[in-house]
């Protein structure tokens, strides 16, 4: 079992790699988490490097294909740092980003806290604590050279490949009565690629993914806070991006979100 000192050293190493845009083969053996819980303990220490309250949470591997790709047997959660989040319509650098993909996602903002408890939260209970739904684009990255081979506990320690995040406006549509499972989303790298996805690609339903996150945090004795954003995982095959590209995601009546890419 990892002690607090080793957890801090592992977290510091990941943070340094994140800041410098450098990649690790994997964590050194003596700093490598052996369980999901140890991975989350290392991840929690990354939050301390942010000067702002936690922006929110992401869910990775919300599809069978995504789980197979990174070698995990279920979803994993990661923290979204405020310094890495921005509003739709701006630009961000791809410098140091090895993954170079954009992922259109359904995101939710919480209206009240969901505290840890012994009984799992139901979908209805979680939705009752949601303030708004937003179109979003996640731009993930990993601090590992080959993130598909390091395993779930190391990926969790690495914030589940969190990197940059783009949040669209809260939808004015009455999303609570809509069929999010079959709701279509069009992702486009302008002038290059156009791809369609839907809510069913996110654990079968973005609302189910959101509930999974609430219960994962509850199991870890973490409160899901009012105002935090939860992005529920890509609803389509990720869009490959390069410097100079502009990506948009059209969620139909739910709104649009976009971002341009700069840097090397």
- Check which CATH number belongs to the domain holding 75 and give it: 3.90.850.10
Number of domains within the chain:
1
Q: What is the CA radius of gyration of the chain?
A: 17
3-state secondary structure of 119: coil
How confident is the model over 162-187, as pLDDT tens digits? Answer: 999 999 999 999 999 999 999 999 99
How confident is the model over 186-244, as pLDDT tens digits? Answer: 999 999 999 999 999 999 999 999 999 999 999 999 999 999 999 999 999 999 999 99
pLDDT class of 1 with cuts at 50, 70, 90: confident
For the cut 70, the answer to whether the pLDDT of residue 264 exceeds it is: no
How confident is the model over 85-111, as pLDDT tens digits? Answer: 999 999 999 999 999 999 999 999 999
Burial label for 12, CB within 10 Å (0-12, 13-18, 19+), is middle
Range with the lowest mean pLDDT among 20-24, 129-133, 162-166, 255-259? Answer: 20-24
Segment 58-67 mean pLDDT = 88
Tokens in use for 236? 């389509």
Segment 138-147 mean pLDDT = 97
Range with the lowest mean pLDDT among 67-71, 78-82, 114-118? Answer: 67-71
69 lies in which domain range?
Answer: 4-262
Segment 13-36 mean pLDDT = 96
**Helices within 71-199 (DSSP H only):** 123-128, 152-157
User: Strands across the sheet with 246-250, in order?
Assistant: 91-93, 256-262, 246-250, 184-189, 193-198
Model pLDDT, residue 67: 86
Q: How far apart are CA 167 and CA 179, in angstroms?
A: 21
Model pLDDT, residue 66: 85
The fraction of the chain above a pLDDT of 70, given in percent, is 100
Range with the lowest mean pLDDT among 67-71, 114-118, 161-165, 181-185? Answer: 67-71
What's the mean per-residue pLDDT of the chain?
A: 96
């Amino acid at each position: 079992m990892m002690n607090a000192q080793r957890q801090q050293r592992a977290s510091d190493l990941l943070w340094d790699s994140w800041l410098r845009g450098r990649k690790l083969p994997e964590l050194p053996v003596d700093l490598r988490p052996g369980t999901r819980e140890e991975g989350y303990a290392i991840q929690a220490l990354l939050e301390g490097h942010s000067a702002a309250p936690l922006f929110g949470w992401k869910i990775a591997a919300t599809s069978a294909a995504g789980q197979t790709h990174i070698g995990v047997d279920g979803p994993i959660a990661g923290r979204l740092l405020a310094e890495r989040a921005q509003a739709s319509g701006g630009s961000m650098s791809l410098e140091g980003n090895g993954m170079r993909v954009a992922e259109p996602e359904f995101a939710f903002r919480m209206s009240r806290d969901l505290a840890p408890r012994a009984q799992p939260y139901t979908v209805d209970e979680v939705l009752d604590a949601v303030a708004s739904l937003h179109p979003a684009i996640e731009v993930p990255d990993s601090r590992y050279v080959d993130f598909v081979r390091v395993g779930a506990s190391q990926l969790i320690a690495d914030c589940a490949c969190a990197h940059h995040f783009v949040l669209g406006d809260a939808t004015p549509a009455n999303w609570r009565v809509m069929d999010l499972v079959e709701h279509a989303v069009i992702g486009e790298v302008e002038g290059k690629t156009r791809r369609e996805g839907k809510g069913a690609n996110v654990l079968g339903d973005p609302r189910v993914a959101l509930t999974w996150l609430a219960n994962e945090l509850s199991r870890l004795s973490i409160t899901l806070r009012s105002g935090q954003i939860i992005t529920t995982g890509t609803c389509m095959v990720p869009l490959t991006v390069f410097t100079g590209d502009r990506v948009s995601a059209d969620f139909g009546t739910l709104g649009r979100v976009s971002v341009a890419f700069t840097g090397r």
